[in-house]
Amino acid sequence: MTSDIVLIYATFPDEEAAREVAGVLVGERLAACVNFWPGMRSVYRWQGQMEEAGEVVFIAKTTAENAAKVRGRIAELHPYDEPAMVDIAARGGAESYLGWIRAETSGG
């Protein structure tokens, strides 16, 4: 079973930034729901240096049709120069829940 629902995974430096972007995405009906939670540790290479930082995991639930707009808004509002963003296509799920995501992101 395939679906038109997409989860957009991103990371943020802190809860305040994640909450602000989540509010914009849900307020603009680009995402039906955003989950974010702190406590993740990331190890990565940035500009030739090994880095380690605490980050906030961020998952926006939207439709494939809205995914590019969601990534655009995240990039526009994100404090990082190069925010991590990955689309994860839903392969299925509870149809009533997927329908709710569609309804909440259709603009009414």
Q: What is the pLDDT of residues 39-80, one digit of tens each?
A: 999 999 989 999 999 999 999 999 999 999 999 999 999 999
| 103 neighbors 50 (Cβ within 8 angstroms) | no
The pLDDT value recorded for residue 2 is 64
In 1-108, beta strands by DSSP E: 5-12, 33-46, 49-63, 85-89
Mean pLDDT computed over every residue of the chain = 94
Domain with residue 81: its CATH number is 3.30.70.120
Residue 45 belongs to what domain range?
5-104
Question: Confidence class of residue 3 from pLDDT cuts 50, 70 and 90?
Answer: confident
How many domains, in total, are found in the chain? 1
Res 5 pLDDT > 80: yes
Residue 11: predicted pLDDT: 97
Do the bridges between strand 49-63 and strand 85-89 make them parallel or antiparallel, or are there none, so unpaired?
A: unpaired
